[in-house]
Amino acid sequence: MAFKEYGDYDAVDLAELVRKKEVSAKELLDEAIARTAKVDPQINAVVVKHYEYAERQIEHGLPDGPFTGVPFLLKDLDLLEGTRTTSGATVLKDFVADHTGTLARRFLGTGVSIFGKSSSPEFGLMPTTESRLFGPTRNPWNLEHSCGGSSGGAAAAVAARILPVAHASDGGGSIRIPASASGVFGLKPTRARNPLGPDRGEGWGGFSCGHVVSISVRDSAVMMDAIHGPESSSPYFAPPPERPFSQEVGRDPGELRISFTDKSPYGDAIDPEIAAAVREIASLLAGLGHHVEERAPALAADPAAVMTTIVSGNTALTVRLIEQRLGREMTDNDLEVLTLAHSRNATRTSATDYVAAQLAAFQISRSLAIFFESCDVFLCPTLCAPPLRIGELNTMSNDLSHVAPILRRYMPGTSMFNMSGQPAMSVPLAWNKAGLPLGMMFSAKFGDEATLFRLAGQLEQVRPWKNKLPPVRA
């Protein structure tokens, strides 16, 4: 039986319907599967489908959690025992996980039914989702454009209303970039707020973290309540919240000190419609009673240079582990040219270079900490250009010289908050004349997701986005 109103509900609402027995978990799963069949041939967001896994979950009895019965997707980088996990890589196209990651276990504990995996670029390396293995994931607002990356499949699936909330992860902007490009809400939590084990204590030198993208702010907050906190092997953990994050949504944010900029951190010119949107939102915030001033942090080092060294080193280790497991050297038949280039770049980098990059990341972190001594929130564009066109970034090109200039133009401001570990969110508050979403990024002090949830809840009330739907939707 089709549940026609499914797309009107966020995940909290769907779980409440299940709790009241107004709809069953199986009916919700069937609706998500039907919506996938309808819209995924156009957007290519659900690249691993394991419907039988979710059906078995329901048959065996879902745990009683805040999202019991809600369909859910894992990003195709995380492990779920007995299911295919490719990381977007040809060489791993048949890999089946032999255990479940800590974060995935916590998602399962919320009561969700995990019916598949959302697309990611190979190893999550790009801010667009166009792996050689699965092909491009397209933006539901315009199929000629990217949905962002690396959590592109998650954001596209949520935007197209296949489901209201999906797993996402962020090592340099990979929650916020696709949230912006796809017109959904995405918050990157404080470093170590959510666990990354059991196979690793941190990702990309402490830059990476996992959470969700969602239709509503409260879905993000309720999910964080359910999954946050260290595990026994965590090397460090985030400051505990004063109260549940879900209680922050709808709470008066008070008069916040908000700094903003409509410029790239490099001082480069940005898309004029995006700059105008930032100024419009700054005026909106002032009208809501916040103290708003135009001011931006001066960074002590170049975030792009730091990312290159840290990401290359981590990618090289991934490649080495695959080679050790398979007993042979990787070629471009196995991995994309860009992935192999990252790995080769690391062989030309010394251990001293890696430590220097970590020191530069700390210097960036310290400059941001000093900046936030005189403000509560910093507003800037999530992306400094509209969503990229499909094919604009080519990870299989023998000439990769186009990549760095595009990244500098497109997403120069996201990675610094991975380096500082501060929470940052992309809020879908603007669209350009072509109908493409333009997310606004808000960041706060280390450990202060509470302020972001309060502000996001306020913005969701005064400038709602839930009913703004893309042309391609289920």
Write the DSSP string, 112-172. Answer: -EEEEEE--SGGG-SSS-EETTTEEPEETTEEEEE--SSSHHHHHHHHTTS-SEEEEEESS
Structure-token match 């005064």, residue found: 462
Q: Structure tokens of 449?
A: 């997701």
In eight-state DSSP terms, residue 96 is: B
Exposure letters 343-370 (e unless 16+ CB within 10 A, then b)? bebbeebeeeebebbbebbeebbebbee
pTM above the 0.95 mark?
Answer: yes
Low-confidence ranges of the chain (pLDDT < 70): 1-2
Closest of 161, 200, 197, 155 to residue 173, by C-alpha = 155
Question: pLDDT at position 187, please?
Answer: 99
Question: pLDDT at position 1, please?
Answer: 45
Question: pLDDT at position 2, please?
Answer: 59
Max Cα-Cα span within the chain? 62
- Whole-number Å distance between alpha carbons of 139 and 145: 6
pLDDT in tens, 340-384: 999 999 999 999 999 999 999 999 999 999 999 999 999 999 999
- Whole-number Å distance between alpha carbons of 443 and 424: 4
- Residues designated catalytic: 75, 150, 174
Length of the chain: 474
Closest of 90, 130, 123 to residue 397, by C-alpha = 130
Question: pLDDT at position 105, please?
Answer: 98
